[in-house]
Amino acid sequence: MDRLEAFKVGLTTWSKWIDANVDPRTTQVYFQGISPTHYDGRQWNGSISATCKGETTPLNGTTYPGGLPPAVDIVKQVLKNMSKGVTLLNITTLSLLRKDGHPSVYFGKEGNDCSHWCLAGVPDSWNEILYALLTNAQGGTLV
């Protein structure tokens, strides 16, 4: 099975469970969007051999030249078809712009990790988004 099809099947199974078992009067559901990788420099107008390794600056601008990963459309489609409300933490675009946020820059000549993220860094932004959503849901204060 294609990995995107498998992702859709898994996410649809999760969404059906949420719809059947979660009471939105007592429970809020948040779903973190797609965390991208940076293995192909052509996606940010780099060379064919470029990866995140050695990258030390984020991309300029507010759009990613390579477009969004295909899994983003699957997430949007599945969430749209749910009967219960789910809040999407849409971290994809801000993370796409941070080709410099991976640990490969610290590996020296060995290693090429363009899928995990450095701490402190990009995941802190995700946490700030979640915190803002939680405080807004609580009327401005988080208990």
pTM: 0.85
pLDDT at 45 over 80: yes
Residue-level pLDDT at 54? 81
**Mean pLDDT of the residues in the chain:** 89
Half-sphere exposure of 134 (CA within 13 A, CB side): 12
Residues 6+ positions from 83 with CB-CB distance below 8 Å: 19
With contact defined as beta carbons under 8 Å apart, do 34 and 92 qualify? yes
CA dist 110 and 130 (Å) reads 34
Mean pLDDT of 41-51: 87
CA dist 140 and 96 (Å) reads 29
CA dist 8 and 12 (Å) reads 6
pLDDT at 107 over 80: no
In this structure, is the dihedral angle defined by the CA atoms of residues 125, 102, 105 and 66, taken in order, positive or negative?
Answer: negative
